[in-house]
Amino acid sequence: MVCRTIINSRLQPMQYYKIEIIINKDGTITEKVLASGTECTAVTEELEKALGEVVSQRPLPESQELYGFPETKITVNGEIGNSTSAF
Amino acid sequence: MSHLSVIKTTIKNAIVLESVLNQMIADGLNGILTGAYLDRNAQIQDPFGNSKLAELVIRRKQNYQGGYDFGFKWVDNEFEFLTRDGSIQASQKFMETLLPWYARENAIAALIAQGYQIESHTEQDGTVKIVAGKWV
């Protein structure tokens, strides 16, 4: 049983979970998690619990990069354009 | 699947909270915490003047603009901020400073505790960015 567990766990490819946390001036947090597969939200659930209360959560396309992350930006006059969030 | 979450900071980690409060007292917070000190498991009055036992209490100099003590009491799985009426401006400034400070220290502590490697930590115009990762 132990051997089977070890073998099975070895069959699961490891993956790197990259997290970007932005702490805003008002203390709210924006967290971006970049990973593939379906376990993404489960893996980071404990972290989110430790940080506070999740107000909203939405999936991101797999292809998005951590840096130069494209965002839709709505300008003051209501026009929609693209921008790149860079720190 | 990658995801994006917006998280409202709630104060749950007593160790991080105490550390940040001590740092804020050392900073003085533009006079709001000058001469203040931290008490553990002490009595504090709530906005209605009722005395309550709080886990952490900042004893403030009472001659500072009629200042009152600031307390943190564990209620419903998070720390609740307590102070009396009459210190609204000071308590607003105090909480505005505490929340992002706590959020930063707590994020770093939580990431390390959960096995993440911190790749970078930058601050710009009061906004903090932490990038971390781990293999799972």
User: What is the tally of structural domains in chain A?
Assistant: 1
| Domain span holding position A17 | 13-85
A75 is a domain residue: yes
Please, which residues 58-117 of chain B have a Cβ atom closer than 8 Å to chain A?
96, 98-100, 102-104, 106-107, 110-111, 113-114, 116
Q: Find chain A residues with C-beta within 8 A of B135's C-beta.
A: 14-17
Q: A20: helix, coil or strand?
A: strand
**DSSP states of B73-132:** EEETTEEEEE--TT-HHHHHHHHHHHHHHHHHHHHHHHHHHTTPEEEEEEEETTEEEEEE
A42 is a domain residue: yes
A74 is a domain residue: yes
| Domain span holding position B98 | 14-133
pTM: 0.81
Backbone angles phi, psi at B77, to 5 degrees: 70, 20
**Is the model more confident about A3 or about B17?**
B17
Per-residue confidence (pLDDT) for residue A32, from 0 to 100: 95
Rounded average pLDDT over A8-13: 62
Label residue A67 exposed, middle or buried (CB < 10 Å: 0-12, 13-18, 19+).
Answer: exposed
What span, in angstroms and rounded, lies between the C-alpha atoms of B35 and B38? 10
Report the chain B residue with the minimal C-alpha distance to residue A42: B1
B9 is a domain residue: no
Q: Does pLDDT of B21 surpass 90?
A: yes
How close, in Å, is residue A81 to chain B by CA atoms?
Answer: 20
**Is the model more confident about B63 or about A24?**
A24
Per-residue confidence (pLDDT) for residue B61, from 0 to 100: 84
A2 is a domain residue: no
Q: Is B7 on the interface with A (CB under 8 A)?
A: yes
Compare CB distances from B7 to A39, A48, A87 and report the shortest one's residue.
Answer: A48
A8 is a domain residue: no
Rg of chain A on CA atoms, in Å: 17
What span, in angstroms and rounded, lies between the C-alpha atoms of A86 and B55? 41
Q: B15: helix, coil or strand?
A: helix
What span, in angstroms and rounded, lies between the C-alpha atoms of B50 and A25? 32
User: What is the tally of structural domains in chain B?
Assistant: 1
A7 is a domain residue: no
Q: Is A28 on the interface with B (CB under 8 A)?
A: yes
How close, in Å, is residue B51 to chain A by CA atoms?
Answer: 28
A73 is a domain residue: yes
A38 is a domain residue: yes
Closest CA to A69 of A16, A25, A18, A28: A18
Closest CA to A40 of A7, A24, A64: A64
Rounded average pLDDT over A76-80: 48
Amino acid at A48: E
What confidence tens digit (pLDDT) does each residue in A22-76 have? 999 999 999 999 986 667 778 899 999 999 999 999 988 764 544 444 444 444 4
Pairing of strands B70-75, A69-74: unpaired
User: DSSP label at B13?
Assistant: -
